[in-house]
Amino acid sequence: MKTVSVLGLGYIGLPAAAMFAANGANVIGVDVNQHAIETINQGKIHIVDPFLEDIVRDAVAKGTLRATNTPEKADAFVIAVPTPVKGDHVPDTSYIEAVAKNIAPVLEKGNTIILESTSPVGTTEAMIEWLEAARPDLKFPHEGQEGHDIYVAYCPERVLPGQVVKELVENDRIIGGITEDCSEKAIEVYRIFVKADLIKTNARTAEMSKLTENAFRDVNIAFANELSLISDELDINVWELISLANRHPRVNILQPGPGVGGHCIAVDPWFIVNKTPELAKLTRLAREVNEGKPEWVINKVNEAVATFAASNNKAITDVRVVCYGLAFKPNIDDLRESPALLITEKLAKLYPGQVSAVEPNIDEKHPVLEKHGLTLKLYEESQNIADVMVVLVDHKEFIEIPLTANNKQIVVDTKGIW
């Protein structure tokens, strides 16, 4: 039985660890989050995924999956830690560097290291340099050089939150080995559970392919968001407009929203801009459009608050705002880079004690709520307290039972569902 160590047990790492364990591997999950470690070792999960908990419970019960905070020896190491941006949209690869230094002491000849974290071009090669510095007794691969003790590849994930388990198995994977035999070793690892095609390329192309996929989506979302701004200015219903335009057989415009969130689309295009700032003009502009959308939404809410106060002879400090949705996309609990959360946080600062939130996928103990002084309300009761209703995420609960504003309430619907 092959032993696989998965480093980083978040939204990508934990499902990957579970799938390795469910398909015959002995899996050691490593994370710095003690709560996550304890939860997983109880056969439970600390994230929302409709299909994951049963798999984790079964794997833990069988002894094929366990979590710890210290790297151990393994045949393969799969790195799935965050790669955020810092300062002026500068990529932060410090988590990858820390993992490389942490696994270095337990590496042995013949091991395979696979980096899954979305990364700037050249990160896999940088990781090799960090490993070489920590383990000069081992020979690491370099393109064009023969003979090495360790196999290294970059293999990005392509999964949709809420459908991660299914897509991990069914989606094609890009296998970017530093050398040809590194690609072959990585393929051996993923063949444990992946049923789709495993396509070989080099590490740099694999890194850029993931960034390209997310930048493509960001540009298309930016076009939809820009259309929403233009349509508002021209008094046009943007959802009707897009529906009509999409009747063209070769047009498929996406839906606008309050911005773009998640750890991928909201972050990855900046990795391209950072590497080639003079060339990535469209990529940068799309990011700027999407990052500017939350402020536009806040302005719309401010207008609604002022209108409600004036129409009902109330002080602005008496107007109650309810924000529907905090996650970055529907039907998940993931708040990373969420424009809905950003908007709600800013509104809570503008209107202290007046803002409540409805988020079906988290509970009232979530640390974000306490941090920003937000009160979580049940969907059914929220309409009774709302003067201004702000739709930020199209969760299934909001679509299946849409709320209808009374004659006084004002709705700011950024998703076009009510």
Q: Active-site residue numbers? A: 210, 264
Secondary structure of residue 172 in the 3-state scheme: coil
Residue span of the structural domain in which 72 resides: 3-211
Q: Tell me, yes or no, whether 240 and 322 share the same domain.
A: yes
Provide DSSP, 371-414: HTT-EE--HHHHHHH-SEEEE----HHHHHS-----SS-EEEES
Domain count along the chain: 2
Q: Tell me, yes or no, whether 54 and 172 share the same domain.
A: yes
Is residue 224 domain-resident? Answer: no
> In the prediction, which pLDDT does 66 show?
97
> In the prediction, which pLDDT does 164 show?
84
Can you give the pLDDT of all 418 residues of the chain as single tens digits?
A: 699 999 999 989 999 999 999 999 999 999 999 999 999 999 999 887 778 999 999 999 999 999 999 999 999 999 999 999 888 889 999 999 999 999 999 999 999 999 999 999 999 999 999 999 999 999 999 998 889 999 999 999 988 777 888 899 999 999 999 999 999 999 999 999 999 999 999 999 999 999 999 999 999 999 999 999 999 999 999 999 999 999 999 999 999 999 998 878 889 999 999 999 999 999 999 999 999 999 999 999 999 999 999 999 999 999 999 999 999 999 888 888 899 999 999 999 999 999 999 999 988 778 778 777 788 888 988 989 999 999 999 999 999 998 888 889 999 999 999 8
Provide DSSP, 334-380: --TT-HHHHHHHHHHHHSTTTEEEE-TTS-TT-HHHHHTT-EE--HH
Q: Tell me, yes or no, whether 193 and 316 share the same domain.
A: no
Q: Tell me, yes or no, whether 342 and 409 share the same domain.
A: yes
Provide DSSP, 41-76: HTT--SS--TTHHHHHHHHHHHTSEEEESS----SE
Residue with tokens 């080995």: 177
Q: Tell me, yes or no, whether 312 and 397 share the same domain.
A: yes
Is residue 254 domain-resident? Answer: yes
253-281 pLDDT, tens digit per residue, is 999 999 998 878 889 999 999 999 999 99
Given 153, 178, 211, the domain boundary residue is 211
Q: Tell me, yes or no, whether 140 and 66 share the same domain.
A: yes
Nearest to 82 by CA among 269, 335, 339, 263: 263
Q: Tell me, yes or no, whether 267 and 389 share the same domain.
A: yes
Is residue 122 domain-resident? Answer: yes
Is residue 25 domain-resident? Answer: yes
> In the prediction, which pLDDT does 49 show?
77
DSSP label of 135: -
Given 211, 227, 258, the domain boundary residue is 211
Helix (H) or strand (E) holding 210: helix 203-233
Strand partners, 202: 177
> In the prediction, which pLDDT does 222 show?
98
Q: Tell me, yes or no, whether 196 and 241 share the same domain.
A: no
Phi and psi torsions of 15, nearest 5°? -60, -40
Q: Tell me, yes or no, whether 197 and 257 share the same domain.
A: no
Q: Tell me, yes or no, whether 247 and 341 share the same domain.
A: yes
Is residue 130 domain-resident? Answer: yes
Is residue 221 domain-resident? Answer: no
Helix (H) or strand (E) holding 29: strand 26-30
Is residue 418 domain-resident? Answer: no
Q: Tell me, yes or no, whether 199 and 303 share the same domain.
A: no
Q: Tell me, yes or no, whether 77 and 137 share the same domain.
A: yes
Q: pTM (2 decimals)?
A: 0.89
Percent of the chain with pLDDT over 90: 82
CA distance 31 to 35: 10
- Asked if 322 and 390 count as a contact pair (C-beta separation under 8 A), the reply is yes
> In the prediction, which pLDDT does 86 show?
87
Strand partners, 173: 198
Domain containing residue 157: CATH number: 3.40.50.720
Interior angle at CA 23, CA 21 and CA 28, nearest 5: 20
Is residue 231 domain-resident? Answer: no
